[in-house]
């Protein structure tokens, strides 16, 4: 997306100083910015980079205006340069919305599917029978929306996502590429030496304002619903088992795995690569450390780490002990020697 500095100012506010017709193709940090890019200065630490930045224009707080003007570069002067730059970032990030409103000629949309007003269905996307896509929602190229699935309004489904039959996605949700919502839960009943598949006929509900990263898997419930609560944010390559329920506003970092039927509360943080066993509860505002293995329920507000996960304070204590183990062995050896001496004298 190319915008002039004047157009940027019209969108995000601030005062243009210098040539407002300079064309901007993107944004970058003051050291990384190249020609055609807009950068910003809001922190005195970075003022020294002002003279040498290759940026085409700079968003500055009023206090740096004089210094910045000396460099002759076009400026966008704002009360709060950082906040204004954040708005500029949002403006340029809309460069991603390259799906035209309406249904692309190569998309396959069932007659019984319902496409909302202002929605955009990209090239080679597939929307099956009885599926619903809400107003202003963007379905990117290569996405599959299964039979009877419902996607809310103002939602973005990135390229090559799969949403299986009957799953429900709320409003203002973002689902990144490669993610699979509603694959079968991992349910088998052993019959002798054969593992017989248990049909998985529940669904997945992703509530409003959730964001799900790339190549995530959220399995459908065996019966009932696997649920991601409102405002929860999920990073890439996360595994959510069948019938898991995650509360509101939780943070699930990359490569976490949550086994079937576990309940994760509100505003919980699960750090990267941690694993949560099945059929347990992680209470509200609990925090699970990176790579931890949680094998039993965690009370609300508790911080746990390690494998198997313990209270974080205990984990730290055990770790400190572990680090002193070599010296402990020496101390015991020493004691044994001294005791032998005493016994001999005895």
Catalytic residue from among 140, 242, 279, 319: 242
Integer Cα distance of 226 and 206 in angstroms: 8
Please give the residues from 10 up to 39 whose contact with its own copies meets the rule CB under 8 A: 26-29, 32
Asked if residue 144 binds its own copies (CB under 8 A), the reply is yes
Could you tell me the smallest distance in angstroms from the CB atom of residue 10 to its own copies?
Answer: 18
- Residue 122 near residue 99, CB atoms below 8 Å: yes
242 is catalytic: yes
Residue 300 contacts its own copies per CB under 8 A: no
Helices 325-345 + 312-323 axis angle, to 10: 60
Report 43-62 residues binding its own copies (CB under 8 A).
none
Beta carbons of 259 and 241 less than 8 angstroms apart: yes
Owner of token pair 């509860």: 281
Per CB under 8 A, contacts with its own copies among 182-201 are: 183-184, 186, 188, 193-195, 197-201
Among 273, 300, 303, 312, binds its own copies (CB under 8 A): 273
Stretch 94-113: interaction string toward its own copies, x if CB under 8 A: -xx-x-----x-x-x-----
| Closer to its own copies by Cβ: residue 47 or 70 | 47
Cα–Cα distance, 40 to 22 (Å, whole number): 16
Residue with Cβ nearer its own copies (117 or 346): 346
17, 41, 128, 153: residue in contact with its own copies (rule CB under 8 A): 128
Among 18, 231, 283, 300, binds its own copies (CB under 8 A): 231
Least separation in angstroms between residue 239's CB and its own copies is 4
Alpha helices in 71-182 (DSSP H): 81-93
Beta 15-17 vs 75-78: how paired, if at all? antiparallel
Q: How many Å apart are CA 259 and CA 302, to the nearest integer?
A: 20
> Any idea what the Cα angle at residue 209 is, between residues 203 and 211, rounded to 5°?
75
Residues with catalytic function: 242
């Amino acid at each position: 997306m190319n915008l002039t500095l004047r157009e940027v100012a019209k969108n995000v506010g601030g005062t243009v100083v210098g040539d407002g017709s300079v064309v901007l193709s993107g944004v970058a940090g003051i050291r990384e910015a190249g020609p055609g890019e807009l950068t910003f200065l809001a922190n005195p630490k970075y003022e020294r980079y002002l003279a040498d930045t290759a940026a085409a224009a700079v968003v500055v707080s009023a206090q740096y205006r004089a210094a910045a003007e000396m460099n002759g570069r076009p400026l966008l002067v704002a009360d709060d340069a950082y906040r204004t730059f954040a708005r500029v970032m949002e403006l340029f990030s809309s460069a991603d919305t390259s799906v035209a409103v309406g249904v692309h000629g190569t998309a396959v949309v069932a007659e019984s599917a319902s496409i909302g007003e202002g929605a955009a269905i990209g090239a080679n996307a597939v929307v099956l029978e009885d599926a619903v896509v809400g107003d202003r929602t963007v379905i990117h190229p290569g996405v599959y929306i299964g039979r009877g699935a419902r996607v809310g309004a103002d939602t973005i489904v990135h390229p090559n996502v799969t949403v299986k039959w009957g799953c429900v996605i709320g409003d203002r949700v973002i689902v990144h590429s490669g993610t699979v919502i509603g694959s079968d839960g991992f349910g088998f009943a052993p019959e002798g030496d054969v593992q017989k598949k248990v049909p998985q006929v529940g669904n997945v509900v992703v509530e409003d304002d959730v964001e799900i990263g790339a190549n995530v898997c959220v399995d459908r419930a065996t019966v009932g619903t696997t649920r991601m609560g409102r405002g929860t944010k999920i990073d890439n390559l996360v595994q959510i088992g069948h019938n898991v329920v995650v509360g509101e506003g939780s943070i699930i970092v990359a490569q976490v795995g949550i086994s079937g039927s576990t309940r994760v509360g509100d505003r919980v943080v699960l750090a990267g690569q941690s694993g949560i066993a099945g059929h347990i509860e992680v209470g509200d505002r609990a925090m699970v450390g990176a790579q931890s293995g949680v094998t039993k329920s965690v009370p609300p507000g508790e911080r746990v780490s390690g494998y198997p996960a313990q209270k974080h304070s205990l984990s730290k204590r055990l770790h400190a002990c572990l680090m002193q183990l070599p010296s402990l062995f020496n101390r015991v050896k020493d004691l044994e020697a001294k005791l032998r001496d005493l016994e001999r004298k005895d």
